[in-house]
Amino acid sequence: MQNIHLSVCFSLLVIISGCLENTVSADLNNPGMIHDTLSISSIMGFNYQTPPELGNSTLLYLGTDSSGFQNPFALFKVQSNSINTSETFDSFLDSTVEIDSAKFILTFNSDTIETGMIFDLYYFPNSGDSIFNESNSNYLNLIESELSSEYVSSGRLFQRLPDSTETIYPTLSFNVLNIIQTFIDSSNINQNRTLMIKPKFDLSHTLSFKSSESGFAFAPQLHIFTHDTIYIDSTSDSVSVDTLSHEFISTDDLSIIIPPTVSSVPGQLTLGRGLSYKGLIEISDLDSFLLPLPEQSIITKAELSFHYPFDTTQSNFYLQVQPVSDTIHYEQLQGVLLEDPIDVISNILPVVNISNNGKVILNIREYLQLIHFGYVSNYGLKLEVINTSNPFNLYSLYSHSSLIDSLNPELLIHYVSP
C-alpha cells in the first residue's frame, strides 16, 4: 500500500511542478507583483544510524580500514544460466558432458598486484539457498559463526602479462571442481549456489574487488570447462569434441561491513555510507513563515545552505536530500536501527555534488511551494551521502548548535505575491 501511495504522490508532484514553473514565468512579468525575502535560521539537525547499505556497490571489501571498519567476509550467489553459452547447471548432469575444471574468479580493483595474501573459499552444502539478501543482510543479522560453511580451497592474487598497453587487473581464482557436482545438482533439496570468501589471515588494510554491479566483464564468475564425449559405434569407442568454457556470474554479492564506534561531534551532523549515519533536518518555524503568505504567492527561490569543515576529505561527495513523508518519532531513533524507519517522498529534490568550497546550497523551492499549496506537510528532510568513492569516509555538516553562528544552517526564501 505504501508503494502505491508513493507512486501516486510522485505523479501528482510532477504535474504540480510543471504547473508551478509555468505560473512563475508568467507572473514575474507583471510589474504589480510584490517581491520579498524571508530568512529562517531555526533549523535543527539530528543523527540516526542503520546498518551499512552497500548491496548496490560496484566494489566488495575485505580487511580492516584505517578508520576501524572491519570487512571480515564477502558472499556471492551464482546464477544458474551461463552468460556466454546456452548451458544451465542442469546441462552438466548429462552423462555425455564431462567437466574438466571449475574455478570461481574475482577481479581485483587495482592494476597492481599485492603478494603474500591468501584467501579461503567456503560453500554451504546444507543450508538451502537463502543465506543472505543483498539488500537486507548486514553485520547485525548475518553472523559468520552461525553460518554452516565448509572449506573448499584457497587462492592468491594472480596477474597475467598484458599483450599490449591494455590494463590487466589481477584476479583471485579458486578451484571448485571438488564441489561442482553438489553445487549444480538441482535435485538436491538443500541446493545452494552461495559462496563465501574471507582472508586466511587478518588484513591490516582494506582490499577491494569488483562486484556484479561492475558489469559482466568484471563480475565475480564461476568458470566451468567441459568437453562432450560422442560414442562412435557399439564398440564403445569414443572421441572427445567441443571443449568449451561456460561463465556463470554472481547476480548477488555483498561484503559484510562492521563499522567502528564513532563519537558524535557537538554542533555537527555526521554522515557516511559505511557507517550508515544519516541526518534529519527539522525547520520548525517553516509553517509559521509560510502561512501568512497570500494564497497565490509563488516561491521563486528557496535555498537551504549548510557549511562543512573545509578539508580534502570533505570534498567530492554526493548529498541526497529527501522530504520526510510522516511524523518523525525521535525517541525511536536511538542506537543502531535494524531497518530505516524514515519514509520519504523521492524524486522531488536533486542529488547535489559537494565540491571543496566549504558550503553547500540546496534548492528546495518546489518542496516549499508544495507545502504552501497544501500538497505535502512539513515533516522535515532526510540527508544521506551516496555515490562516494570510498564508503569508509565520514562527512560532517555544521548543525544548529555550532559554536559559531555564521556556520549554522540557513534557509532563504524569495517569493512574489499579488
Give, for all 418 residues of the chain, the pLDDT tens digit. 444 444 545 554 554 455 445 444 445 556 677 888 989 988 888 999 999 988 888 999 999 988 899 999 999 999 999 999 998 998 888 888 889 999 999 999 987 777 778 999 999 988 777 789 998 999 999 999 888 899 999 999 888 776 777 778 889 999 999 999 888 887 777 778 899 999 999 888 999 999 999 888 899 999 999 987 666 665 556 565 667 899 999 999 999 999 998 877 778 888 988 889 999 999 988 888 888 888 788 889 999 998 887 664 555 678 899 999 999 999 999 999 999 999 999 888 888 887 667 888 899 999 998 998 889 999 999 999 887 778 888 888 888 765 677 888 999 999 898 7
Give the model's pLDDT for residue 150.
93
* Cell numbers describing residue 370: 508544495
Give the model's pLDDT for residue 33.
76
Shared-domain flag, residues 177 and 136 = yes
Domain boundary among 236, 255, 274: 255
Whole-number Å distance between alpha carbons of 125 and 89: 16
Shared-domain flag, residues 103 and 185 = yes
Give the model's pLDDT for residue 312.
46
What's the CA dihedral at 203, 207, 209, 214 to 10 degrees? 150
Shared-domain flag, residues 203 and 291 = no
Query: What's the domain count of the chain?
Result: 2
Give the model's pLDDT for residue 3.
47
3-state secondary structure the chain: CHHHHHHHHHHHHHHHHHHHHHHHHHHCCCCCCEEEEEEECCEEEEEEECCCCCCCCCEEEEEECCCCCEECCEEEEECCECCCCCCEHHHHHCCCEEEEEEEEEEEECCCCCCCCCCEEEEECCCCCCCCCCCCCCCCCCCCHHHCCCEEEEEECEECCCCCCCCCCCCEEEEECHHHHHHHHCCCCCCCCCEEEEEECCCCCCEEEEECHHHCCCCCCEEEEEEEEEEECCCCCCEEEEEEEEEEEEEEEEEECCECCCCCCCCCEEEEECCCCEEEEEEECCHHHHHCCCCCCCEEEEEEEEEECCCCHHHCCEEEEEEEECCCCCHHHCCCECCCCCCCECCCCCCCEEECCCCEEEEECHHHHHHHHCCCCCCCCEEEEEECCCCCCCCEEEECCCCCCHHHCCEEEEEEEEC
Shared-domain flag, residues 14 and 156 = no
Give the model's pLDDT for residue 254.
95
Give the model's pLDDT for residue 255.
95
Whole-number Å distance between alpha carbons of 66 and 202: 13
Shared-domain flag, residues 208 and 305 = no
Instruction: State which residues form the domain around 36.
Output: 2-52+262-417
Give the model's pLDDT for residue 194.
93
Shared-domain flag, residues 73 and 122 = yes
Whole-number Å distance between alpha carbons of 398 and 402: 6
Shared-domain flag, residues 80 and 217 = yes
Shared-domain flag, residues 203 and 169 = yes
Shared-domain flag, residues 219 and 163 = yes
Whole-number Å distance between alpha carbons of 113 and 133: 31
Domain boundary among 238, 255, 272: 255
Shared-domain flag, residues 44 and 74 = no
Shared-domain flag, residues 172 and 95 = yes
Give the model's pLDDT for residue 373.
87
Shared-domain flag, residues 230 and 320 = no
